[in-house]
Structure 1
Amino acid sequence: MPKISKRLDFFTDSLIRRMTRVANKYGATNLSQGFPDFDPPQELVNELKKVADTGPHQYEITWGSQKFREALAKKQSKYMGLAINPDTDIVVTCGSTEAMMVAMMTVCDHGDKVIVFSPFYENYVADTILCGAEPIYVPLHPPQFSFDKDELRSAFAQNPKALVLCNPSNPTGKVFSRDELDYIAQLAIEYDTFVIADEVYEHIVLPPFEHTYIASLPGMYERTISCSSLSKTYSITGWRLGYIIAPSFITENARKVHDFLTVGAAAPLQAAALAGLNLPDSYYIKLQNLYDNKKKVFLKGLDEAGLKYVEPQGAYYVMVDISEFWDGSDVVFCEWMAKEVGVAAVPGSSFFKEDINKYVRFHFAKKEETLIEATNKLAFLREKAAKGNLLNIN
């Protein structure tokens, strides 16, 4: 029989999505894969009902409907502080997952190098390898998950084609400071490198931290591919509506890649999502307050359970230190915890290039009652771990 591509030897299936299957298997509270258990804004639901009757139900323009791009350009121009042209600067994709893949394929050739901060969202390495490029890992050092300037400069000295920046960060919840972004921008300009910015959590930034779009920094719009989606901002992860914002010399090529990957995002969902893009500024303030409150509820529960964690600055993830319970495979630990404790998390090792097994990632994009239920279960983690049944996962 012919052999499967050797590229697939360098990464596994998604441990994040795998842990949802584990949660379902054991009936555990799923704090692994980051999707809400509450509804989107009612305006989107109402509009979706209308679109079901009136359409559109056929293909839209492959890079996004005119109305969607115009509404997106208006919103993002305001928040990014840039003059975004809806006709030339936007590609609408099937989620930010496709946006990142399109961005990578647009700028990278076989053999190019790409800087990836570690820990990282697992798709970035897979995207790099599938493009035939080589990742260069730069560690983010806990507990603040900051980079060392000399280590980053050494990575840039290898003449990478691109750097991937997740801000706010998945999995750590780190929000990169203006000084950090200025240094990244300085090196990107000095070494003539693209920045592929995953900013899907752009509106989930927790006080007192603030988000800065790297494309808005001097000299950076021309070399930045800003990727995001509506999934997290409007609690519609299943709609799979993402986008790329970049100057036209990039988007005209990204549109070619996107066209042959997926043709286009769902036309009826683009039409319904206009109700979200046209929401007032007050919606984003309420969203920030919503997640700040959820963070407080969840961290209070972790404190009461006596668990050590890294407090997030943005997004909706918390890295919890499990080293006092277990020094083996965190994959084994997470399956045990789903079965014996009834809470599902993501093994932290899936995010690190380094051999680190001491963290698991929880998310708090859940109803308050779900978070309280989960932390009530986690209160028994130490007791159950002490019974010595950590390998009882059959």
Structure 2
Amino acid sequence: MSAARVSQRISAIAESATLAVDAKAKALKAAGRPVIGFGAGEPDFPTPDYIVQAAIDAAGQPKYHRYSPAGGLPELKKAIAEKTLRDSGYAVDPSQVLVTNGGKQAVYNTFATLVDPGDEVIVPTPFWTTYPEAIRLAGGVPVEVFAGPEQDYLVTVEQLEAAVTDRTKILLFVSPSNPTGAVYSPEQVAEIGAWAAAKGLWVVTDEIYEHLTYDGVPFTSIATAAPELGDKVVILNGVAKTYAMTGWRVGWMIGPADVIKAATNLQSHATSNVSNIPQIAALAAVSGQLTAVDEMKVAFDRRRKAIVAGLNAIDGVECPTPKGAFYVYADVRALLGKEFPTASGTATPQTSAELASLILDEVEVAVVPGEAFGPSGFLRLSYALGDDDLATGVQRLQEFLGKAQ
């Protein structure tokens, strides 16, 4: 019997559904199709000029043409520590920072460093598609705790308590949330943090959307809201969303020195240092003002209100108003099992994956189905795209979904 060509460990990893949808939409666009893409969580703004200029200047300096420390440029680590104190009120030493190739590597490094085979990680659901794959790759077991639209996609301590076993090691906590845009109140953050501390759990918190909240809702870091967690907290973050730098690939993880040292050792064998030029761009970003994100938020807020109103005008769609990030998470369970007219007859989608595929085929609008983030029956739409495309896309959805029988 011949051995499998690809290992079971890697074969078990699911493709990133969000990137797959975005790739299909871009391929159709390249072929001349008028596709509207609500798939990727990517600001449509250019990276601010001063950040780009910092990278251009760095590219001309020979010292940045060489290897640099695997854990990150010392000046960037120092700036990230200062930025964390400024934005989260959380004091860390630069030795507690590891600069990574985007936020995703920070996620993988963290779970690879903390998780042993069989360890359970509580994952509030809906979740970002990469989390469970990173947990499984590390040998861990993701334990989903689902919160639906009736509770604004926010899990409760009671739900978390019901999920704990003697194998639970980590609580994953994300606020503002991708994919739902949900934001926990300061009181909820403190309560969940205190609960995790009382259980002796680690908390891994993804704060990459920290600067994207609306309606006066504050961002609250669980690291500062629950000081009783002590050093059993790891913060994940990056420049991608705040500064429209998704393609620059600079993220970081912050944690206790021993964990960061171990994760740095891992990264030294995986990718070594992040490219120096993007690191200097990130240094300019985190050291500078937040003017750029404040300007982007004006547009995001306008689009947020428009897309929520447009989706809620469709019979069978329930779309809570998100308080953060740049996504809406629409409940379309009432549309499943309904009959839709198509170019070739009719179709009756039974899952949100089937509905998303039908929408792309029939009206050339790309959305991500709930299966990518947890249970079926939901659609994630990013409103980080131009106003005209958003209006056109929502109109196509209204016309198509409104024909359900």
TM (norm. structure 2) is 0.88
Asked if 1:258 corresponds to 2:280, the answer is no
Q: Secondary structure at the match of 2:204?
A: strand
Of 2, 7, 10, which aligns to 2:9?
7
| Preserved CA contact (<8 Å) 2:208 2:236 | yes
Structure 1: gaps spanning 5 or more residues: 387-394
What's the counterpart of residue 92 of structure 1?
A: 99
CA contact (8 A) 1:161 1:194 kept: yes
Pick aligned residue for 1:316 from 303, 326, 349: 326
8 Å CA contact 2:48–2:292 kept in 1: the answer is no
Structure 2: 5+ residue stretches without partners:
30-34, 338-349
Cα separation, partners in 2 of 1:110 and 1:371, compared to 1, 3 Å: same
Residue in structure 2 matched with residue 291 of structure 1 by the alignment: 300
Secondary structure of 1:105's aligned partner: helix
Distance 1:76 1:120 in 2: 24
Q: 1:182 aligns with which of 171, 190, 193?
A: 190
Distance change (3 Å), C-alpha of 1:301 and 1:43:
farther
Instruction: Read off the aligned partner of 2:136 and give its amino acid letter.
Output: I
CA positional deviation for 1:8? 4.5
Structure 1 residue aligned with 2:173: 165
C-alpha deviation, 1:282, in angstroms:
4.0
Q: Is the 8 A contact 1:341 1:380 kept in 2?
A: no
Task: Tell me the distance in 1 between the aligned counterparts of 2:325 and 2:167.
Answer: 31
Task: Output the CA distance in 1 between the equivalents of 2:197 and 2:286.
Answer: 32
Shift of 1:369: 2.3
Mapped to 2, the partners of 1:244 and 1:188 lie a distance apart of 20
What is the root-mean-square deviation of aligned Cα atoms in Å? 2.1
Alignment partner of 1:227 is 2:259: no
Deviation per CA, 1:1-22, whole angstroms, max 9, x where unpaired? 3124333565421111111122
CA distance in 1, matches of 2:353, 2:71: 39
- Distance between the aligned counterparts of 1:219 and 1:250, measured in 2? 19
- Of 264-273 and 183-192, deviating more is 183-192
User: 1:379–1:201: structure 2 CA closer, same or farther, 3 Å change rule?
Assistant: same
Structure 1 partner of 2:345: none
Matches of 2:11 and 2:199, distance apart in 1: 31
Within 1, Cα distance between the matches of 2:332 and 2:156? 25
Paired amino acid for 2:232: R
**CA, structure 1 residues 283+84, in 2 after alignment: closer, same or farther (shift >3 Å)?**
farther
What percent identity do the matched residue pairs reach? 27
Q: CA deviation at 1:291?
A: 2.2
TM-score norm. by structure 1 comes to 0.90
Preserved contact between residue 345 and residue 362 of structure 1 (Cα < 8 Å): yes
Alignment-derived partner of residue 392 in structure 1: none
The residue matched to 2:65 in structure 1 has which SS?
coil
Q: Give the count of matched residue pairs.
A: 382
- Deviation (angstroms), 1:370: 2.4
| Preserved contact between residue 115 and residue 136 of structure 1 (Cα < 8 Å) | yes
CA contact (8 A) 1:117 1:165 kept: yes
* C-alpha distance 274-133 of structure 1, shift in aligned 2 (>3 A): same
1:126 maps to which residue? 133
Secondary structure of 1:91's counterpart equals strand
